[in-house]
Amino acid sequence: MLDLIELAGLTSKKAKEELSLLNDQTGLDAFYAKYLSKKGEIRMLLSHMKEVVAEKKKEAGEAVNKAMGEVSAAYEQKRAKLETEKLAKRLEEEKIDITLPGRKLTTGRINPYYQIIDEVTDIFLEMGYEVVEGRDVETDHFNFELLNVPKDHPSRDMQDTFYISDELLLRTQTSAAQAHTMCERSANPRPIRMICPGKAYRRDDDDMTHSHQFAQIEGLVVDKNISIANLKATLELFVKKMFGEKREIRLRSSYFPFTEPSVEVDVSCFKCGGKGCATCKDTGWIEILGAGMVNPKVLQSCGYDPKQWSGFAFGVGVERVAMLRYGVDDIRRFYTNDTRFLKDYSGK
Ligand code: PHE
C-alpha cells in the first residue's frame, strides 16, 4: 500500500535538492509550477488521502502539510536571495561616481596631407584604378634608366637625391612605380590603370615650398588606343571632383623624359575663379601636376610593345594640392606635428 507519509517526506527532500541548484527566476517559476501550484506535486499528494487507512489519515495529513510548509519556506527564502543578488548586481552596474570630473573627449583629426591622399585615392578608385604600393628605396634602374633617364641625362641634376650606393637611392619620384608595374606584368601584358601614392625625396634646400621629403601620387594607364584625349578627360574629371564642378583645366606643353608629349596641367584658380588673385599670382591658373603620354621608349624598356600599347601618366604633388586647398603657407607645417596646425587646417 502506498505510504503517503514516506512519499511526502521524499517529495519534500527532492524538491529542496532541486531548489538548491536553481539560480535564476525562470528556474524558480518552473519550480513553483512543478511543486507548489494547485496541480503541483505536493498538493497532488492530497488526492491520495482517500487510499490511506483511517487511523493513519491524521498523520498522513500532517506529513503533507509539513512538506508543503518546508518547500514553501525554502522557495520563499530562495526567491528573496535571488532578488537581493539581482538588486546588488544592478546597483553595482549602474553606479555613478559623481565625485569624478567628466571625461573630456578629444577627437583626433587627420593630417591634411593624408586627407588629400585619401581623397585623390577615392576619386581614382571610383574610376576603376588599382592602388599600387611602391618602395622608398629604389634602384637607379627603376628610378631613372627605365624611365628614359640614362646616367648622363641632364634632368638628373634637378632630382639630386640621397644615394645609398651608386645603384641604390631614395626615389626621386613615384614614377618608379610605373616602371615596376609594367615590368611585373610584361610577361603577360594586359591593360593597366593604377595610382601609386607615396613619398619621394630630393636633396632640396628646405624652404616654404620645398622639402627634402614630399609626397606624390603617380597615375598610369596603359591600354590599346589610349590618346591624349583620354588623359585630358581623366584629369578634367579628377580636377572637378577634387576642386569643384566649376574648375577648368589647361594643358601647357612641357618636358619629361618618360612622357612624349609632356604637359603641365593648370587648374583655374579656385580662390578667384580665374579672375586673378594672390593665390594664382594674378594669372587665373594654378599649376598642379605634370603628365603626358607614356614615351614609347619607356613602354619598350618595360616590356610593353609600343606598336600595340599606348598610355598616359601623371604625377600630382600632394602637399601642393593640400597647400592650395587649405591655404597653408609653409610646406614644413605638414611634418612638424603641431596640433594647433591640425586643428586649423583639417576638414574642408
Ligand atoms: N615624375 C614627375 C615629377 O616628379 C611627374 C610626372 C609623373 C610627370 C608622370 C609626368 C608623368 O616631376
197 lines ligand 1 (CB under 6 A): no
Q: Which atom of ligand 1 is nearest to the CA of 312?
A: 11
Query: For the chain, what is the mean pLDDT?
Result: 92
Domain that holds residue 211: 112-344
Ligand 1 atom closest to 219 (CA) = 9
Looking at ligand 1, which residue's alpha carbon is closest to its atom 6? 315
Binding site membership of 201 for ligand 1 (Cβ less than 6 Å) = no
Of all residues in the chain, what percent carry a pLDDT higher than 90? 68
- HSE (CB half, 13 Å, CA atoms) of 102? 3
Shared-domain flag, residues 187 and 70 = no
177 Cβ inside 6 Å of ligand 1: no
How many domains does the chain divide into?
2
The predicted pLDDT at position 348 comes to: 45
Which residue, of 93, 123, 140, is where some domain finishes? 93
Residue whose grid cell is 490511506: 52
83 within domain boundaries:
yes
* Boundary-marking domain end, from 38, 64, 93: 93
Confidence of residue 1 (pLDDT cuts 50, 70, 90): very low
Note the pLDDT tens digit of each residue in 54-76: 888 889 889 999 999 999 999 99
Span 110-142, pLDDT tens digits: 888 899 999 999 999 999 999 999 999 999 999
Domain membership flag for residue 102? no
Residue 234 Cβ inside 6 Å of ligand 1? The answer reads no
138 & 65 share domain: no
pLDDT reading at 20 higher than 80: yes
Instruction: Verify whether ligand 1 is closer than 6 Å to residue 256 (CB atom).
Output: yes
**Which contacts qualify for 82-86: CB closer than 8 Å, 24 or more apart?**
82/23, 82/24, 82/25, 82/28
Does residue 101 lie in a domain region?
A: no
pLDDT of residue 196: 98
Give the pTM.
Answer: 0.70
Closest ligand 1 atom to 172 CA: 4
Task: State pLDDT tens for residues 173-194.
Answer: 999 999 999 999 999 999 999 9
Q: Is the pLDDT of residue 89 over 60?
A: yes
Q: What is the CATH number of the domain that holds 156?
A: 3.30.930.10
Q: Do 158 and 40 fall into the same domain?
A: no
Q: Judge whether 174 and 134 are in contact, CB under 8 Å.
A: yes
Of all protein residues, the one whose alpha carbon is nearest to atom 3 of ligand 1 is 173
State yes or no: pLDDT of 13 exceeds 80: yes
Selected residue with higher pLDDT from 279 and 169 = 169
- Give yes or no: residues 77 and 147 share one domain: no
Position 346 scores a pLDDT of 54
Name the residue with the closest Cα to ligand 1, atom 4. 173
Q: In terms of domains, do 274 and 330 share one?
A: yes
- Listed residue (78, 84, 83) closest to 15, CA to CA: 78
